[in-house]
Amino acid sequence: MRKMLITAPLLFAHIIAAEAIAATCPTPSPTLISSADELIDRTKRIVIAQSLPFSEAEPESESDRPIPLDRERDMKKATEGERYPERVVARRKLARFGVVENISGNGPEIIYLASSDATDAGDGDYDGHRADQFWTDEHAGRAAIAVDCQLDVSFVHGSKYLIFVGPPHVKAYERVAVDDDKWVEYVRARISGSR
C-alpha cells in the first residue's frame, strides 16, 4: 500500500479552494449580472456623482433607506433561492454622493448608497473601461457578489462614479477616472439611441 504524503502548502491550497467554493453565492439574481443594455434600459436615473464624506445622517426618503444587514436571514434566503428586495443591503455605512451630472432622469442632488468600508481596493476603472474583461465578463465590475448574493461595493471619498440609481448590478457603480471613459460614452450613446 502506498502512503500519500500531504505537504503543508498542498493542504493549505485545498483548504483555500474549498473555502472559495463554499463562500460563493449559490444563485445570484439575474438582474445583478444582466447585460449592459438591459441595465441601461431599465434604469430611470443614471448620474455621474462624486463621493462625499461618509454620513451618519439618514436619507430623507424611506425608499432610499438601505435595508439593515441580517446575516442569518440573508443566508437562509440565499440557500432557499429567494430573491431580495430591490434596495441595496447596508453593509457598514452610507456613502453620500453629490450629483455632478444627470445623464438620464432627475432627482435629489445628494444620493446615498450602502457601502462597505472605503478602501482603494477594487476602485479601479478597467483602464477607462477599455479593458476587454469589463465588456466580456458578466461578473466584471467594481461591485462583487457576496456570499449572501448581495453586492459588496465600496467608494473612495473624492472619486467620481457612474451610478445607476435603482436595482443593484455589478456594473452600476463604476469609477470614472478619465474624461473619455468608454462606459460613460457607451451609456450616453445607448440613451441617445445611437447604439
Residue 73 three-state SS: helix
Q: Is residue 52 part of a domain?
A: yes
Q: 108-128 burial, b for 16+ CB within 10 Å, e for fewer? A: eebbbbbbbebeeebbebbeb
The per-residue pLDDT for 37 is 95
Q: What is the pLDDT of residues 10-38, one digit of tens each?
A: 444 444 443 443 457 888 888 888 999 99
Q: Is residue 22 part of a domain?
A: no
Q: What is the pLDDT of residues 92-108, one digit of tens each?
A: 577 889 999 999 999 99
The per-residue pLDDT for 53 is 82
Q: What percent of the chain has pLDDT over 70?
A: 63
- Ranges 98-112, 113-127, 143-157, 160-174: which has the least confidence: 113-127
Among 27, 140, 6, residue whose Cα is nearest residue 75: 27
Q: Is residue 21 part of a domain?
A: no
Residue 51: CA atoms inside 13 Å, Cβ hemisphere, count? 25
Among 13, 63, 81, residue whose Cα is nearest residue 167: 63
Q: Is residue 115 part of a domain?
A: yes
Tell me how far apart the alpha carbons of residues 54 and 105 are, in angstroms, rounded to a whole number.
Answer: 25
Rounded to the nearest 10 degrees, how much is the dihedral formed by the CA atoms of 193, 46, 188, 141? Answer: -110
Q: What is the pLDDT of residues 141-154, one digit of tens each?
A: 988 888 888 888 88
Q: Is residue 88 part of a domain?
A: yes
Name the domain count of the chain: 1
Rounded to the nearest 10 degrees, how much is the dihedral formed by the CA atoms of 181, 186, 187, 189? Answer: 120
Q: Is residue 72 part of a domain?
A: yes
Per DSSP, 110 falls in state E
CB 143 within 8 A of CB 25: no
Query: What confidence category does residue 136 fall into, taking pLDDT thresholds of 50, 70 and 90?
Result: very high
Per DSSP, 30 falls in state G
Tell me how far apart the alpha carbons of residues 4 and 89 are, in angstroms, rounded to a whole number.
Answer: 46
Among 140, 153, 159, residue whose Cα is nearest residue 100: 159
Q: Is residue 8 part of a domain?
A: no
Q: Is residue 15 part of a domain?
A: no
Residue range of the domain that includes 49:
28-192
C-alpha torsion sign, points 135, 86, 148, 67: positive
Residue 63 three-state SS: helix
